Every structure is written in C-alpha cells, then in structure tokens.
A and B are shown apart, each in its own frame.
Chain A
Amino acid sequence: MTNNTLTGPPRSQSPQAPDARPATTALDVVKRLLPKSYLLLVLLAIIIIGYYVSPDFLTARNAQNVIAAASITAVLAIGQFFVILTGGIDLSVGSTLAMSTVIIALTLQSGMNAGLATGVTLAACAFAGLINGVLIVWLRIPPFIATLAMMSAIKGFSYIIQSTSLIQITNQAFINAFSSGSWLWVRNPVAIFIVVAVVAALVAKFTTFGRSLYAIGGNPEAARLSGLPVARNLLITYTLSGFLAGLAGLIAAAQLQQGSSLIGVGYELDAIAAVVVGGASLMGGKGDPISAVIGVFVLATIINIMNLVGISSEPQLVIKGAVIIIAVFLSSAGGVQRISSFFSSHFGRSRSAATAH
C-alpha cells in the first residue's frame, strides 16, 4: 500500500483561523452548557420541588425506595438506548422481562442452583433479543413490527411455560443477590444498575462498537459505505437489549419473589420514554446512556413526589405524559435554543454565537 498520507507535509495554505470568539463571559459559558446539562437542572428542580411539597421526600429511606424502583427501568432503558441509538426500537423488552421472571422461577423451582439458573435465564433472554436482530437484519422487517410481533410471541411463550398463575421464588441466595443483599452499603440492584450504566457509558463513548452505533443511527448508508460491520453490530445491539431486559427481569423477580408473565406490562414504553426524555432521538445517532438513566430518574422522581403528596394514579399518568412532552421539546426539538434565542432577540443585543461558516 502506498503510504501517501499521514506523513505528507502540511499544505502551505493553512486553515483559516477559526472565527475569533469574543472573550468568554460567564453568560456565554452558561449558554453553551445549558442545553447539555439541562436534564440535571430539571432533575434538581424536581428534587427542590419535592423538598418543599413533602417532608418525607428528602429522606434516606425515600431516596432508597426511588432508586431501587428505578433500577429495573434504568437497566431496561440502557438496553433500549442502544437500540434507539441505531435508529431502531425494541418493543419486546417488557415481555422479555416477564419471560425472565418466569424462567428464573421455573429453574429455581426445579432445584437448579441459583448461579446456573441465572445464566440460563439471561441466555434465553439474549436469544430472544437475537431473534429480534435476525428478523430486522436478515428478513429486513422494520424494527417496530419485528419487536411488536416478538412482544406478543414472547408473552405467549411465557404463559405456556408458566402453566400456573404465578410461581413463588424461595431461593434465598437468588433473592439476596438481586434484591435484598448489599455490597459496600449499596443495595445489590442499585449496584447492578450503576455497573451497567457505567459500562454502557464507556462502551458508547470509547469503543469502536459504540462509535459505529452512532454512525449507523446517524447515517446508515454512510456507515455501510465506510465499511462498518452494520449487520453484525445491529445483531449485537438487539441481543444486548434482550440480555439487559433479562437482567432487569431478574431484579424484578427477586424483588417480588415470584415469576409471572403478567409482570412488566408497559415497561417497554417507560424505557422508551426515559430514553427520549434523556435527549435521544428516535431517528437515531444521538444521546448517551447516562442521560437515559437521568431520564429514568426524572420520571421516577416525579411519580414518587406525586405518590407522597397523595395524587391518585390516574392524574399521575396525565402529568407523566406532560413531562415527557416538555422534556422532549426542550432537548430533541431544540426547545432550549429556541427559547434562549427568543429571549436574546427580544431582550438582549444580538450577540451572534453562530459557529457555521
């Protein structure tokens, strides 16, 4: 191969100096960071509101409850995030979660050792995700349809293998590992979700796999023409989503101490909502896993506050819907920029911070 590139002398014509920015003021810094960190600000605002409306809100006990409840959705949302990053969607994760609880309950009931049962369950859920991937990549069925069909098929499969109404889980080792136990003063489900979130964040930002998912979601044709392994990475992504749904199912099963195909109805929508609240675009190519997790907490905290102040569950749904709309408007629809440009054009001197040439 000709090595004609990296060692070549720089061309005489140097790049034009990037447009000279005016000295950065504190206001500019805020303006630049605002769209990125707005989610944390929103979460902070919600927490402050919670503090004022309910004395029980800012207690260690309540915080623990919120985090424990959110950890299941958070694990689901991280898997969903990677799928949405590629421009796809996975509607089957709620069903997969239910299947996970059923399989773990059945295998434990049959006397299998907890570690092996966990492995079998996760493998089965990952396999369900792999089927999603195969349908999408090789049969070219749109993700929405493929995972909708799988949502139904997996649910039916869980009913069939479950055969009774629900199966109790009595294996203390398992319950301990996924629910009641703790590690370094952190309860195990929380530790699991933190580990998953950190690994996911690193994978998304620093690995070739993560980079290629951003590329596939951002422009699939350009990704293909650049020689990225598009089919392989999509298969991995859907398998991963199934695997994480299985993991979330294990946490749910340990918390409820039972396996049932009725668990997890609507969880896929909660996960999708959290991901889009976290700033990802359903068109793909945008967002990050940590924001998806923050999205989970925004929604979970609001629900928690509403529970504390005694709002019944029906108005809760309405408010949750409104929160999703507002959050998505602020992030994906460029609401922060639109509002700030509205204010700067009406109330400030037009200080153009445009970066386009």
Chain B
Amino acid sequence: MTDELRLTGITKGYLGVQALKGVDLTVKHGTIHALAGQNGAGKSTLIKIISGAETPDGGTMYLGGEQKKFREPIDAQNAGIHTIYQELSLVPSLSVAENIFLGQLPKRGRTAVDWGTMQSGARAALDRVGFDLDVRRPVGSFSVAQQQAVELAKALHKDARLLLLDEPTSTLPLPDVERLFTVLRSVAEQGVTLLYISHRMDELYSLCHEVTVLRDGRKTAEFDTTTSTASEVVTAMVGKSLQGSIADAALRGERSPRLGSGHTAEVLMAVAGLGEDERVEDVSFELRKGEVLGISGLIGSGQSELAGLLAGARRKSTGTIKLDNKAVVFKNPRDAIRRGIGLLPQDRKAEGFIPDMGVAGNITLASLPMFSRLSVIDSRAEKKVATQMVERLGMKVSSVNQPMKTLSGGTQQKGILARWLARSSRLLICDEPTRGVDVGAKEDMYELIRDFARSGGTVIISSSEITEAMMCDRVLVMARGRVVAEFEHDDIDPQGHALISEFA
C-alpha cells in the first residue's frame, strides 16, 4: 500500500507555547487511521495544519507523494482534503441538495440554478454513503446522524481523497454510531483515506486500522489495532505526566501523594441512580466526610457532567442526591451553595470569574451577604478577608483590586478556590482543577486541596489526568457516562495501570 499522507517534522508554536514539536505521521492509502492523545497533546493543531486552517512553522507534508503547502483551507479542499468537525458546518435552512453543491451550484444559462441536475447529483452522492433522504428538505429538519451523512456526501461529491473526522461520534446515539461506522468503512473501501480522532478507545479499535498517539506535541507511539490493545494506547497517551509530578515524587518516596488525610465513617453525600439524559447514567456512590474522591475517565466520559450535577450547575433527569441523609434537589447552583457545596468549573474563563472585577470582588462573589449589612457592602471587611486569602493561598497579585483577567491561570484558579473558602464551603467539587495551570501553581493547588481536606473539608475531583486521580482516597472510573470501576487509593499500582485498563 502507498502512503496517502506523510508528515515529517511538523512544528508549530503559538506565542511562546510549542504546540507541535516535530510530528511525523504516515497514513496509508484507503485505511482508517486514528489520532489519539489527551487534551493539549496537539491533535487539533495537527488537524488544523493538515486542513490548511493553520500554516506550520516547519516540516513538510506530502499528499499522495507530492509535497503540499496550504495557505488557506480552500487550498486543502482543492487538493482533496476535507474536514468534518464536531460541530457540523452545514447551512441548516438550505436544502440537502444545496448544501452538497454549496459553492458550485450547477447553472442553467447565466443565472438560473439547474435544480434537476443538482437534486439527482445530491441523491447520487448520498447513495455513496448509503443514505436515502429527501434532498429538497432543509438540512436542519434531519437528525444529527443524517446531517453527518450529508456532510460526508458533500465531501465525497467534492472528490475528497482524505477525510479528517474530528470526534464525529461525540453527539451521536449508539445505534447511529454503528451505522456511521458502516458508512465510513465503505467510504474507505472506495479508496478514500480517513484520519479519525476520538477519545473513545472501543471506537478506535472497532473502526481503525492504525493508531498514532500524540503527547506533548510529539508522536509517542504507533500501533496496529490488530496486534495491540486499547490499554497500550491509553498508556502511551497519559504516560507523560508522572515525571516531575507529586505522584512521581511519591513513587520515589519523597512525599505523600495523597490529597486526603483519611475520612470519617460519616456519610456526607449519598447519590443513587443519578443520570442526565445520555451524558451521565445511573451513577451511585457514597461520599464520606473528609474524603477526597476522584472521578476519572478519558475526556467526555461524563465525569465533568457528573461534577456539574452534584454542584447544581446542571439539572439531573433521574436519581436522587442525599446530603446529611436528607434528600435534596438542586434547582440551581444557589441551592447547592447554600448547603455548603462549591464548584471549581473546568472552563475558568467562561464560567469561573468576572474578568474586569478585582480579585477581592471575585473572592467574595459567593458570600456577599456575609460582607454586607442591609445589602451595603462592608468594603473593609471584604478587603481584609481578600487580603488574608491572597496571603494564605500565595496568590501573586499587586493588590486585591487588580482585575482578575490580568492574572495567570494558576492565580485565577486560586482566586476561585478562595471564593469557596471564604464561603466556608464544606464540599469542594473541582472539575479539572489544574487544567491550563503551570507546574508550580499545580503543586500549590494540590497542597491547598490537601489543607482543605486536613481541616475537615470533603473534596470531589473530576479529572481526566491519571496522576490526579491517583492522589485521591478513592477513585470512580467513568466511561460513556457510567461508573465502570471503583478503586481504593492503596489498590492502585504506582503506574496507574489499574485505572488505565478501565479507561478503555
């Protein structure tokens, strides 16, 4: 078999951050090739470069043996490279036929659109992906799976030779996933090459021929799916972060990796059959006072949604939550906050802080009534507490009035933590607490969580980082919205293989 796509030494940096540090990738003609890696490993940057949305700083790219340089996405498309993103790029109000022919509508005369040719062409294109839809209906009236088929048909109609698929199944119900796979296999048999990105290991292994694993902007491994296992891929994906981390230090006996200091027998929260549509299904567990509970899984396994449900940020569709042995219903975050629950959201910028507001204002945001009398804010009390927090958490700020948006990621995260400390929260729910935080601040965050647990607080850490999960007293592993395994801290081997094998 010939190589359809070959990349050598691709590099790309953004404002001092090296996203790709010399990536080699070879995809054989007519195969389905998977690209795997954690968030930030460089997958999306690589996809952008192949599809012409970004230009690489260095390295070369060959398509069908010919060297290519793309300046714009249109260059890549003209060369036969088409991308199907998570968010579909169809025009919902236009008909299926118009979408497939968008940009090259067949004409009759100078201006009139040749509808007959267009519709029969659209039907033929859909036939190639095994779908039979009414091509005159607007795209928006079809299901996500059908829209994906339209998108595929559109790409094939434009003579795609290489299709880039970025997590196409993330929004699909299970039966449709099977159907999509059937289509993708037949597309590959028609001689089109597919580069497939997904976090779901079972998918990679049922669909793809080969897997390339990226980590920290480099290719770390390549597997043939017939002769390897999913856990080898996961190991290659996550293997990095042990080095230099607390877990690493602990392995060498330098420092206790545990965040928790041992829990009491008292149950703080009991969750039974908790679910939210298809994102979280039938989750049950008991959380004891003083415990640090990890909820782990590959990205998109439902751990983040579960964290949101427990903090009242999302609405459950099934199940019950008991707090102190009393059933509670969180209609909004306010209900949860009132009962002593604080959430450190995953997306700090979008959900965590008020950008133009000062550090002090952000810290007291959830406890304003405590700093006010007759709803007039006591600025001195506010400033005093904010100053204490800044000192206690080691936040690098020039003053407590410094706008939050001017701080580093780690300092912002500490500010949000301070918000819940100021509120005297007793249960802290951290969703990816160290994402986008530099190494030093990361260790600080762990130390702060440890302090919190030591003084009697309870913590839930939702994380896709294996080392973080390994520091918890107990770990629930999630996959496809369900809890698939549970480990006590001491039962996890130093390399975390026990967890990894459940991830897949």
For residue B33, give the distance in angstroms from its CB to the closest CB of chain A. Answer: 37
For residue A344, give the distance in angstroms from its CB to the closest CB of chain B. Answer: 19
Which among A11, A214, A218, A356 is the interface contact of B391 at CB below 8 angstroms? A11
**B323 within 8 Å of A by Cβ?**
no
Which among B369, B399, B411 is the interface contact of A18 at CB below 8 angstroms? B399
Is the pair B424, A222 in contact by a Cβ cutoff of 8 Å?
Answer: no
Is the pair A5, B394 in contact by a Cβ cutoff of 8 Å?
Answer: no
Is the pair A214, B394 in contact by a Cβ cutoff of 8 Å?
Answer: no
**A179 within 8 Å of B by Cβ?**
no
| Segment at the B interface, from A118-126, A152-160, A202-210 | A202-210
Is the pair A219, B395 in contact by a Cβ cutoff of 8 Å?
Answer: no
What is the bound-complex CA distance between A265 and B32, given in angstroms? 64
Which chain A residues have a beta carbon within 8 Å of chain B's beta carbons? Answer: 1-6, 8-11, 13-16, 18-19, 206-209, 211-212, 214-215, 218-219, 221-229, 285-286, 355-357
For residue B378, give the distance in angstroms from its CB to the closest CB of chain A. Answer: 9
Is the pair A222, B354 in contact by a Cβ cutoff of 8 Å?
Answer: yes
For residue A5, give the distance in angstroms from its CB to the closest CB of chain B. Answer: 4
Sorted nearest first, the 4 A-B pairs with minimum C-beta distance are: A4-B455, A218-B354, A18-B398, A227-B337
Is the pair B368, A3 in contact by a Cβ cutoff of 8 Å?
Answer: no
**What 1/0 mask marks residues of chain B from 201 to 234 whose CB sits below 8 Å from any chain A CB?**
0000000000000000000000000000000000
Is the pair A355, B402 in contact by a Cβ cutoff of 8 Å?
Answer: yes
**B357 within 8 Å of A by Cβ?**
yes
Is the pair B376, A2 in contact by a Cβ cutoff of 8 Å?
Answer: no
Closest Cβ neighbor of A284 among chain B residues: B356
What is the bound-complex CA distance between A15 and B407, given in angstroms? 13
Which among B390, B424, B444 is the interface contact of A4 at CB below 8 angstroms? B424
Contacts of A10 in B (CB 8 A): 388, 391-392
**B17 within 8 Å of A by Cβ?**
no
**B300 within 8 Å of A by Cβ?**
no
**B120 within 8 Å of A by Cβ?**
no
Is the pair A11, B351 in contact by a Cβ cutoff of 8 Å?
Answer: no
Is the pair B340, A225 in contact by a Cβ cutoff of 8 Å?
Answer: no
Closest Cβ neighbor of A231 among chain B residues: B332
For residue A164, give the distance in angstroms from its CB to the closest CB of chain B. Answer: 45
Contacts of A5 in B (CB 8 A): 421-422, 424, 455
Tell me the chain B residues, 398-417 only, with Cβ under 8 Å from chain A: 398-399, 402, 406-408, 411
Contacts of A355 in B (CB 8 A): 398, 402, 406
Contacts of B73 in A (CB 8 A): none
Is the pair A214, B398 in contact by a Cβ cutoff of 8 Å?
Answer: no
For residue B425, give the distance in angstroms from its CB to the closest CB of chain A. Answer: 8
**B503 within 8 Å of A by Cβ?**
no
What is the bound-complex CA distance between A198 and B58, given in angstroms? 60
Closest Cβ neighbor of B354 among chain A residues: A218
Contacts of B391 in A (CB 8 A): 10-11, 14-15
In the assembled complex, 6 residue pairs joining A and B whose CB atoms fall closer than 8 Å, in A order, are A1-B424, A5-B455, A11-B392, A211-B361, A219-B351, A227-B333
